[in-house]
């Protein structure tokens, strides 16, 4: 009688262990599945267009289409130092473009011309100043100026960190120098 009871208890015990094992493995499987799905989603995504994390606001006085330019693709790996003895855009400079590396340099080799809608922004920190004092923009607009590869040139400056940018020069003043690099679509700075 007693041994029968013992057997029953043992059987019950084994059953419990089996059931909890099944439960545990099914949980594991679910977890693993979730992980797999998540991994697939993470690795399977194609590169998204560059989106600023926060809604970007243009610096005062600058057009809205350059808002958040600091988050665009930077062409230069290192800041471009001031040019000794007459710098057209005096200061320490960075050059950004609203395109992805894949678009302008498929297979790692930069292609020219830039596509329609491209905006190239150069910022310059004036010597010994810690705010952007100059913004030069090249904007590619189909049909706007076929003689200069449809680039619109415009430059803005300001003299205080909270001041509004003002236009100081555009197009004709810029063509002379930039025509030197007509073969690479008028843009001096190449993608590093
Ligand atoms: C005296 C020659 C000269 C003139 C004039 C000039 N630039 Fe430039 N620009 C350069 C050089 C050189 C660079 C390369 C980066 C550097 O050293 O500053 C450059 C860079 C730029 C860039 C960054 C893309 C690039 O070509 O590397 C922009 C944008 C730009 N210039 C806009 C303008 C605009 C707008 C004007 C007219 C208002 C203008 N530039 C006038 C010589 C000139």
How far CA 145 is from CA of 149, 168, 172, in Å, comes to 6, 20, 11
Q: Is the CB of 169 under 6 A from ligand 1?
A: yes
Q: Is the CB of 163 under 6 A from ligand 1?
A: no
Q: Please state, in angstroms and rounded to a whole number, the distance separating the CA atoms of residues 118 and 142.
A: 10
Please give the model's pTM, rounded to 2 decimal places: 0.77
Give the mutation target among 124, 145, 178, 180 for probing the ligand 1 site: most ligand atoms within 8 A of CB.
178
Instruction: For the chain, give every domain's residue range.
Output: 1-45, 64-184
pLDDT band at 56 (very low <50, low <70, confident <90, very high): confident
Q: pLDDT digit string (tens) for 170-188?
A: 999 999 999 999 999 999 9
Cβ-contact 61, 42 below 8 angstroms: no
Q: Is the CB of 173 under 6 A from ligand 1?
A: yes
Q: pLDDT digit string (tens) for 29-53?
A: 566 656 655 655 565 555 566 666 6
How far CA 134 is from CA of 1, 34, 152, in Å, comes to 97, 50, 17
């Amino acid at each position: 009688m007693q041994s029968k009871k013992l057997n029953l208890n043992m059987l019950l015990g084994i059953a419990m262990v089996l059931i909890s094992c099944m439960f545990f493995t099914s949980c594991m499987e679910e977890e693993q599945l979730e992980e797999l799905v998540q991994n697939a989603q993470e690795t399977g995504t194609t590169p998204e267009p560059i989106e600023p994390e926060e809604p970007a606001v243009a610096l005062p006085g600058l057009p809205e289409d350059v808002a958040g330019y600091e988050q665009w693709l930077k062409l230069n790996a290192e800041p471009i130092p001031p040019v000794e003895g007459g710098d057209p855009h005096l200061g320490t400079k960075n050059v950004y473009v609203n395109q992805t590396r894949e678009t302008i340099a498929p297979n790692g080799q930069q292609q020219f011309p830039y596509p329609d809608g491209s905006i190239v922004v150069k910022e310059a920190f004036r010597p010994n100043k810690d705010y952007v004092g100059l913004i030069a923009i090249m904007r590619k607009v189909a049909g706007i100026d076929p003689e200069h590869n449809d680039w619109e040139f415009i430059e803005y400056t300001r003299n205080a960190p909270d001041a509004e940018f003002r236009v100081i020069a555009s197009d004709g003043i810029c063509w002379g120098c930039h025509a030197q690099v007509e073969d690479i679509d008028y843009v001096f700075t190449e993608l590093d």
